[in-house]
Amino acid sequence: MHIMMNRQNEPKMSELDRYPKPAVTVDLVLMSVQDARLTVLLQRRATEPFAGRWALPGGFVRVEESLDAAAERVLAEKARMQGAWIEQLYSFGAPHRDPRDRVITVAYFALLPRARFEAALTDAGDLTLATLEVSWEGETGGPVAALGPDGAALPLAFDHGDILSLAVKRLRGKLDYTEIGFALLPDRFTLRELQDVHEAILGRPLNKPAFRRRMLERGWLESTGERETGTGFRPAELYRLKPRKG
């Protein structure tokens, strides 16, 4: 295998060109919470390799684009969404993770409230919102299965199962010392909705008074003074995330 490049009139090959280069992609673990379940956006592969299996949306990193920018672009192009909470997860680079060529992928996770998924899901038939089956299993959880609408496990392409597991693990780890959980909720939400999100991610029930105490003492929330409507019982107070300091 040989590589030849036109580099701008350099007299000799620099060290950068001595070895063949891997391709670099970004893959997106685009998660949400619906009906107390953690979900992830998957795309059905039409072509080999792994035709028919389900993959995370991804794309190549362009030469003039940062990794974060590539992730944002993939979010916009493949999932037709923007403005998600987006964060680098980990880089996967086993030599034959893509059987065709050497491809290193930088995985990102992206979080959006469920309502923001609607548009993307209706107009592209190869996308699905899979439910993630996660058990508690001592703090960071075990393996993760992605279930289709019929409840059957979806076969995943490449090493995307590993990426998914790590995304859930990372999400769990950051949940209660960062503001990450709020990215899965609309602007105004009740404390119960917030607790539901946390329980869905952790895969276990939480103590209500303790949860409310902790969240309110963090100082991240402010009351809107408004309440839910149409509940049929006592409506809960609506909170919002305080604008970021600084």
Q: In the 8-state DSSP scheme, what is residue 211?
A: H
Nearer to DNA among residue 62 and residue 208 (C-beta): 208
Check binding of 21 to DNA (CB under 7 A): no
Check binding of 210 to DNA (CB under 7 A): yes
Check binding of 208 to DNA (CB under 7 A): yes
The candidate with the shortest Cα–Cα distance to 33, out of 204, 197, 211, is: 197
Query: Tokens in use for 241?
Result: 């995330």
DSSP 15-83: GGGSSPPPEEEEEEEEEEEETTEEEEEEEE--SSSSTTSEE--EEEPPTTS-HHHHHHHHHHHHH---S
Check binding of 110 to a copy of itself (CB under 8 A): no
Burial (CB count <10 Å: 0-12, 13-18, 19+), residue 101: exposed
Check binding of 22 to a copy of itself (CB under 8 A): yes
The candidate with the shortest Cα–Cα distance to 56, out of 148, 149, 142, 158, is: 158
Check binding of 201 to a copy of itself (CB under 8 A): no
Q: Give SS3 for 165.
A: helix
Check binding of 67 to a copy of itself (CB under 8 A): yes
Rule CB under 7 A: choose which of 7, 21, 62, 227 binds DNA: 227
The candidate with the shortest Cα–Cα distance to 189, out of 226, 234, 240, is: 240
Restricting to residues 45-64, name those near a copy of itself by CB under 8 A. Answer: 60-64
Check binding of 2 to a copy of itself (CB under 8 A): yes
Judged by beta carbon distances under 5 to 8 A according to partner kind, the member of DNA, a copy of itself, none in contact with residue 221 is none
Backbone angles phi, psi at 16, to 5 degrees: -65, -25
Check binding of 219 to a copy of itself (CB under 8 A): no
Q: Give SS3 for 241.
A: strand
Closest distance between a copy of itself and the C-beta of residue 1, in Å? 7
Rule CB under 8 A: choose which of 42, 84, 106, 194 binds a copy of itself: 106
Query: Tokens in use for 49?
Result: 């390799």
Nearer to DNA among residue 213 and residue 242 (C-beta): 213
The type of residue at 145 is A
Restricting to residues 165-204, name those near DNA by CB under 7 A. Answer: 190-192
Query: Tokens in use for 34?
Result: 């619906």
The candidate with the shortest Cα–Cα distance to 80, out of 24, 123, 126, is: 123
Choose the stretch contacting a copy of itself; rule: CB under 8 A; options: 33-41, 102-110, 152-160, 215-223: 102-110
The candidate with the shortest Cα–Cα distance to 130, out of 26, 51, 34, is: 34
Binding mask 132-171 for DNA (x = CB under 7 A): ----------------------------------------
Nearer to DNA among residue 7 and residue 227 (C-beta): 227
Binding site for a copy of itself (CB under 8 A): 1-8, 14-16, 18-24, 60-67, 88, 90-95, 100-104, 106
